[in-house]
A and B are shown apart, each in its own frame.
Chain A
């Protein structure tokens, strides 16, 4: 990394000394956000623990009685098995169980599946999560870029036919629930018109294809993810477009844009670094919310398309009452949403220094 040390002209900034960094960390916007994220995850973990353990007919109890009735084992034996599965000691006081649970969680142990003994929730997660991240990530990227471009186009061509047409299409797709768009895609393209073979697109990749880092596998995975991606894009692009349009319109009226015009700056320069940049800032924070919503909504979309991601496995865990898998996946979904939000906050702080400064003086 010797190149970094070379002077890079006037943009090079002197590094602050260590003392300033430590002082900065304590009253920091970022530290505050991290703390909030941590609290959220902690609360969700706690709530899901008590839901499982305090509900009338809690899954632990139900499991114990099922074992006793089905296999005729004694209460103690059944209790031991239940304890092993839920990774809690049922005889301990609740507080002690709770502490034990948090300890396990901190080490990344989410327990084992109830219905497939020997399968850890962590391994379920590893097998299914990448598909969701892949499909949701690609969709979000396409939707965001498309929305930004179309939104700016609409703002620059305000009141044109194009603006009205895009507004209409955007708000229609924005208001219709995403699962309905998914159903429509399957019913119309797959069944009525027979344009695509729905059955062969199920799953996350085709049976004969070996997962690996090659183009063939990537294209196959993309083919299987294409319908979920199309659904996510269709249902989210409208919101990006309309927000970007109104932000751009508002920015175009700002004095600094007029000044930039008066200074004779080129249209392209004004569009990218004056209008576009400022109009985009509020959207960055929404990317996280959109990501969270998409991951949350994946339970519906992936179930419809039989796309084997985290949403699909959550749906089947709930349907089969596999409480440990259910709880673990819900926790992981929450963590990923919280992480996405955190990332947005951090990015937002970088793009718009006002937020950061406000946070520092306020905290």
Chain B
């Protein structure tokens, strides 16, 4: 056992966690490559992410042009213009970045909470376990979106990261339960028992022995949390409960709805642009989770 001689505990926990995250991404991609739909979805998703992050750097904020409001699609404006004559295509290309960042941060934080407290719950047992699982049950039953909407009345949601944290604070219970039950079952396995007998420390046992077995599940859950976060943040923007400033698909949807689509036939592409963008992102992510689920639940895999 040469590896144990190197004392794996010396690795910083953050480093270990990071390595775990990279491992999760790798095994997720591996799982996705078995499935054609999952593969296509992953590529489309990657393309959207790249476009969303590059566009704000390359494309300038479209200027208002009041002579050209609600213009039909043309060579200059492929998707037409909005209520103040700004180019819709530029907005939709620039509008993905914030939405995706909020979704990723929310998903990351909620996965972090689930893993930490799920593992703690399973390890500690007793009243700690009772309190944590009880709290998870309570948070799970609270209707998340109405709570967010109500909180938006009290809190200033102008900072997207704050919005992400708020979404994460409500999104952890499902994964926590899964982590807890996995850790409970895995910690009785021989190899975990062996690692503990070698006194490798809880951090090592958790991150190197137990969690790597859950990588695909955690990756799947991460993507699932992202879809939830996108649903919630765009919903908040649609109702106008978060400040309507900047380029963002949620804001576009709100403005296109309240300042165009309900009145003008001509603003069809104005409202369709954010709708298609959001729907395609959600569709690719849900397809990815389904493929991941199939990959590690062989019962669902097709016979052929």
Contacts and interface: CB of A to CB of B under 8 A. Distances in A.
Interface string A283-326: 00000000011011101100110000001001100110101001
Please classify how large the interface on chain A is, using the bins under 10, 10 to 19, 20 to 34, 35 or more: 35 or more
Contacts, number: 122
Interface in A236-288: 246, 250
Contacts of A334: 141-143
B273 to A, nearest CB: 12
Contacts of A246: 299-300
B171 to A, nearest CB: 13
A177 B146 contact: no
A297 B149 CA distance: 11
Nearest to A330: B150
A165 interface: no
A333 interface: yes
B149 A183 contact: no
A141 interface: no
B208 to A, nearest CB: 32
B245 interface: no
A51 B153 CA distance: 11
Interface string B261-296: 110010010011001001100110111001000000
Determine which residue in A39, A180, A198, A292 has the highest number of CB atoms from chain B within 10 A of its CB, and name it: A180
Interface string A143-172: 000000000000000110000000000011
A323 B154 CA distance: 9
Contacts of B150: 48, 314, 318, 326-327, 330
Contacts of A186: 261-262
If over half of B's interface residues share one DSSP class (helix, strand or loop), that class is named, otherwise mixed; here it is helix
A314 B279 contact: no
If over half of A's interface residues share one DSSP class (helix, strand or loop), that class is named, otherwise mixed; here it is helix
A29 interface: no
Contacts of B89: none
A318 B152 contact: yes
A162 to B, nearest CB: 15
Nearest to B302: A159
A39 B134 contact: yes
Given A175-B282, A337-B141, 20 more contacts: A39-B138, A171-B283, A172-B283, A175-B227, A175-B286, A177-B235, A180-B275, A180-B279, A183-B261, A183-B275, A187-B261, A187-B268, A192-B268, A296-B143, A300-B235, A314-B149, A318-B241, A319-B240, A323-B153, A334-B143
Interface of B: 134, 137-138, 141-147, 149-154, 227, 230-231, 234-235, 238-241, 253, 257, 261-262, 265, 268, 271-272, 275, 278-279, 282-283, 285-287, 290, 299-300, 302-304
25 contacts: A40-B137, A43-B138, A159-B304, A171-B286, A172-B283, A174-B286, A175-B282, A175-B286, A177-B235, A179-B235, A180-B279, A183-B275, A186-B262, A191-B262, A292-B143, A296-B144, A296-B145, A314-B150, A318-B150, A318-B239, A319-B239, A330-B150, A333-B143, A333-B146, A334-B142
